[in-house]
A and B are shown apart, each in its own frame.
Chain A
Amino acid sequence: MQELIKAKAIELLENGTVDRVLGWKTGEFFYDLTPAVFTSREEIEKDFVYSVFSGANLSKYLVKESRKDGKVAAFLKPCDTYSFNQLLKEHRIWRDHVHVVGIACDGMCDMEKIRAYGAKGVLSVERDGDTLKLETLYGPMTMNKADAEAERCICCKSRKLVAYDEKIGEDGDVIENSGRFDMVAKLEAMTPDERYAFWQGELSKCIRCNACRNVCPACTCEKCVFDNPKSGIAQKAAVNSFEESMYHIIRAFHVASRCTDCGECSRVCPQNIPLHLLNRKFIKDINELYGEYQSGADLETRPPLMNFTQEDCEPSVVYERGGKQA
């Protein structure tokens, strides 16, 4: 796969289709790949990597890259193509400046999971079908790839490429029972106090680094309200635990019905806060209240929360669904 992708990148550069390529660049180790722009055959041959650690979603970089002169090629995994579509819909990407190469994916690995599995000082990983062979400072070990997979990949919503100019590899399908709402359902089944305790426990870990926001393809405001000192609510740290939750609740509302569930927020969170659960709660509610909706699946439909139809649920639905009143 990597060889096909690199060959394609070089071909697109050399036949003049594009003059830049957005991909993943090699690091100090095998897993620390950095999104990067490549402009020559030499750079691609030397530094371009596509592996189970190419998890970073490149679509948001196209907001900036597509505004530059010339054309950029971007390699997008299935979930990344949903983000790409959503950004197009919001007029954030200049489509004619981008050549999308869709690439098939069978799940990305997460270094944190490999570490949590008990591997310390990992020096290299070799994939052999469904197993990973690790070389570590403390000797070799093997593990199932499935145990190393990122949470978002274990319950992947779709392996289908929804936007591309050309593709590499076998395209997959939308996955119906991905299990991605299982944990949300568990949270819904909790008592309000239990749920509150769960979220306080998670959100109190937040260090307000804003990585979740900065990586999010649905967060592309030129100036975020939380960064604007004149907004009166700009904060670098929460004054109290209430404010801490406010940041997350406001953000979740702001991306509701636009979030494609790409999982980048949870991937980048240095504190391992399961932010995807907030987003999935919104998605689940939207599915139940407005009919099944997957943002980024197409270019035509309007996100339910940015639309109005007579069938829309009434605000009073919160009383029907909200459980016991205090």
Chain B
Amino acid sequence: MKQLALSKLNELFAAMAAQQQLYIPADKGGQAQFLPYVDGMELTKSLNTARSAKDLFFPQTEDIVGFQVKGTEITIEETRDPGAPFVVFGVRACDARSFEILDRVFLSDPVDTFYETRRTNGTVVTLACTRPEETCFCGAFGIDPANPGGDAAAWMAGETLYLKANTKKGEKLLSSLPLLADCDDNAVETVQAEIHAITEKLPLNKLDLTGFDGDHLMEHFNNPAWSKLSESCLGCGTCTFVCPTCQCYDVRDFDTGHGVRRFRCWDSCMYSDFTMMAHGTNRPTQKERFRQRFMHKLVYFPSNNDGIYGCVGCGRCLAKCPISMNIVKVAKTLGEGTK
């Protein structure tokens, strides 16, 4: 384990940024977001960013390929961003777990090479949550905010920052930073115990997820409660866009006037034209769209992925849904149905 006085945090950031592009969660426009580090930038005081760390690996839009049209000739242009190594510092445990979920989708055959490139290039340094919010329920998915994972993990305790590598990539990064001093591995035990004392008190941390599996799929699907749950949903898709694990995208063409830029952009199962087909849409009302989102996270994903849920309990959809409907309310209501 390594340590550094917190007063030298900016020196650490500068040293990392000297080697490769660094992103840290900082305040801009009244909220925290991952921003490219520039000299003197301050780490946010907010617990988590409004948008998740997913954005750095699976951005909202990216170009896939371009076509140039000249007369009757079409040339294909490579528009792929080759990317470069980068570090993202300050990822919370929930977001760090979301990469495991996204990996299962994008890195299984056929591999999404755009995502893969960013995963290879990116080093994730996590940060333990000393002050979880009431909306946090990562514990329900076995995530420990006191042991945040990633390539390297960081803790803040008193006036000191502690860092510990978890992977080869993390080791490489930490050993390249001479301003870090060695220290004992149990230096963070106290702060970990303090975090656990808080997580014990989190109101949603013990969300009961029994019965959310493939065996109860039809029971959940046919639950009459979906009508009530979805009745005031605006179909806005905020919940899917702030979610660190939502992975759907659409491929669109942009007419540049002398060619086409083919790009992909996030899509949301909450939208009326999601997976639109020639016959029309297979989810005709908001009820079916709403059901898809929660069935995917709580039932379909785990039944196809060894029981791993498609939610990490980050609480973003709880804080951001305009009508305050969310996965916890859904899970509790549906849970009643299988008891």
Interface residues of A (CB under 8 A from B): 27-29, 31-37, 56, 61, 111, 116, 120-123, 136-138, 201-202, 205, 207-211, 213-215, 227, 229, 234-239, 267-268, 270-273
Contacts and interface: CB of A to CB of B under 8 A. Distances in A.
Given A236-B250, A237-B266, A120 B133 contact: yes
Interface stretch (B1-9, B112-120, B200-208): B200-208
Nearest to A229: B273
Given A61-B232, A229-B276, A272-B29, A35 B51 contact: no
A270 B273 CA distance: 22
A29 B238 CA distance: 20
Rank and list the top 3 A-B pairs by shortest CB-CB distance, nearest first.
A237-B265, A268-B322, A32-B324
B323 A35 contact: yes
Contact of A122 (B134, B237, B328): B134
A120 B131 contact: yes
A27 B252 CA distance: 38
A207 B50 CA distance: 11
B272 interface: yes
Nearest to B231: A37
B41 to A, nearest CB: 16
Contacts of A273: 29
A209 B241 contact: yes
A36 B273 CA distance: 25
A237 B273 contact: no
B231 A137 contact: no
Contacts of B51: 207
B285 to A, nearest CB: 11
A272 B31 contact: yes
Task: Say whether chain B's binding surface is mostly helix, strand, loop, or mixed.
Answer: loop
Given A28-B329, A211-B322, A268-B322, A234 B273 contact: yes
Contact of A29 (B134, B228, B276): B134
A201 B237 contact: no
Contacts of B265: 235-237
A233 to B, nearest CB: 11
Nearest to A32: B324
Given A27-B324, A28-B204, A123-B203, A227 B236 contact: no
Interface residues of B, number: 52
A34 B326 CA distance: 10
Contacts of A272: 29-31, 50
A202 B30 CA distance: 10
Nearest to B33: A205
B133 A121 contact: yes
Given A238-B61, A239-B61, A239-B261, A123 B236 contact: no
Contacts of A123: 134, 203
B243 to A, nearest CB: 11
Given A211-B322, A268-B236, A138 B131 contact: yes
Given A27-B324, A33-B324, A227-B273, A205 B29 contact: yes
Interface of B: 29-31, 33, 47, 50-51, 60-61, 131-135, 198, 201-204, 228, 231-232, 234-238, 241-242, 250, 252, 254, 261, 263, 265-268, 271-273, 276, 318-320, 322-326, 328-329
Contacts of A235: 252, 265
B29 A215 contact: no
A215 B201 contact: no
B236 A121 contact: no
B261 A209 contact: no
Given A209-B241, A215-B234, A237-B265, A32 B318 contact: yes
A56 to B, nearest CB: 6
A120 B238 CA distance: 23
Of B228, B236, B267, most A-chain CB atoms within 10 Å: B236
A218 to B, nearest CB: 14
B244 to A, nearest CB: 14
A215 B322 contact: yes
A31 to B, nearest CB: 8
A20 B128 CA distance: 47
A268 B201 CA distance: 29
A35 B271 contact: no
Contacts of A227: 271-273
12 contacts: A28-B318, A28-B328, A32-B318, A36-B231, A56-B323, A121-B132, A205-B33, A209-B236, A236-B266, A270-B242, A271-B29, A271-B31
Contacts of B30: 116, 272
Given A28-B204, A34-B323, A121-B198, 16 more contacts: A28-B326, A29-B134, A31-B324, A34-B232, A111-B319, A121-B131, A123-B203, A137-B134, A205-B33, A209-B236, A229-B276, A236-B267, A238-B61, A239-B61, A270-B238, A272-B31
A150 B266 CA distance: 31
A34 B325 contact: yes
A207 B237 CA distance: 10
Nearest to B199: A137
Contacts of A202: 29
A270 B61 CA distance: 18
A237 B238 CA distance: 13
Nearest to B322: A268
A194 B2 CA distance: 45
A210 B237 contact: yes
Contact of B232 (A29, A35, A205): A35
A213 B198 CA distance: 38
B233 to A, nearest CB: 9
B320 A270 contact: yes
Nearest to A138: B131
Nearest to A272: B30
Given A137-B201, A236-B267, A271-B50, A207 B324 contact: no
